[in-house]
């Protein structure tokens, strides 16, 4: 049991240190020696837990995506109407995308370091089911047109994901977040009127 707790603490220390390093230096310039030192560990300990820098980076991306999904879910649950919940979730997602650590790790370096397909699979793993449930609820409530939910989910998720990427890569992410948030609201408005 103690060994498991120690391993969990080591993993936590590595993830926290790696997140700081990847957010500050970017994936390409991040150094495993710096990550290990900040976690008060040796590089050998780092490589015992993670095969290489990319494996550690992948774990950090997964963790951030899970955090974003939790924030989006919490924002959506604060609303009672399904379409209002979708709007709140989209707004929270774009807010997350404007944060500096999310921008650098998930939206700039993520697709480049992991490759588009792997990055997209991680994104979908954390977003698709919740988005589909929201779409189904809005269709059932009559707030969205009665169309097949799977393709509508894919289209909406594509819009939201690409808006997030655009926010993350913008030189003015706060302004871009407002602009794209307005466009997503407009799309949801038009869909609800169909």
DSSP string over 142-154: TSS-SS-HHHHHH
Instruction: Name the CATH superfamily for 54-192.
Output: Tetracycline Repressor, domain 2 (1.10.357.10)
pLDDT attached to residue 9: 87
pLDDT attached to residue 193: 85
Q: How confident is the model at residue 6 (pLDDT cuts 50, 70, 90)?
A: low
Nearest to 92 by CA among 80, 79, 105, 106: 79
> Residue ranges of the domains in the chain?
1-50, 54-192
Looking at residues 52-69, what average pLDDT do you find? Answer: 97
Asked if the domains 1-50 and 54-192 are classified in one and the same CATH topology, the answer is no
1-50: CATH architecture: Orthogonal Bundle (1.10)
Using the predicted structure, report yes or no on whether residue 82 has a pLDDT greater than 80. Answer: yes
| Interacting residues of 7 by C-beta distance below 8 A, sequence separation 6+ | 49
> For the chain, what is the mean pLDDT?
94
Give the whole-angstrom CA distance, residue 100 versus residue 97: 8
pTM, two decimal places: 0.91
pLDDT attached to residue 149: 96
Tens digit of pLDDT for each residue in 142-181? Answer: 999 999 999 999 999 999 999 999 999 999 999 999 999 9
> Helices 82-97 and 149-169 sit at what angle, rounded to 10 degrees?
30
Q: How confident is the model at residue 194 (pLDDT cuts 50, 70, 90)?
A: confident
């Amino acid at each position: 049991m103690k060994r498991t707790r120690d391993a969990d603490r080591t993993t936590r220390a590595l993830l926290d240190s790696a997140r700081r390093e990847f957010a500050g230096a970017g994936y390409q310039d991040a150094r495993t020696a710096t990550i290990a030192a900040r976690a008060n560990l040796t590089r050998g300990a780092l490589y015992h837990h993670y095969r290489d820098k990319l494996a550690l980076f992948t774990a950090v991306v997964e963790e951030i995506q899970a955090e974003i999904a939790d924030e989006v879910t919490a924002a959506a649950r604060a609303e009672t109407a399904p379409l209002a919940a979708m709007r709140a979730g989209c707004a929270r997602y774009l807010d997350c995308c404007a944060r500096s650590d999310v921008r650098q790790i998930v939206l700039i370096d993520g697709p480049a370091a992991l490759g588009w397909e792997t990055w997209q699979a991680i994104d979908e793993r954390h977003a698709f089911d919740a988005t589909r449930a929201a779409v189904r609820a809005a269709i059932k409530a009559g707030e969205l047109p009665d169309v097949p939910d799977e393709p509508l989910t894919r289209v909406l998720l594509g819009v939201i994901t690409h808006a997030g990427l655009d926010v993350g890569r913008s030189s003015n992410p706060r302004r871009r977040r407002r602009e794209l948030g307005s466009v997503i609201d407009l799309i949801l408005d038009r869909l609800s009127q169909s």
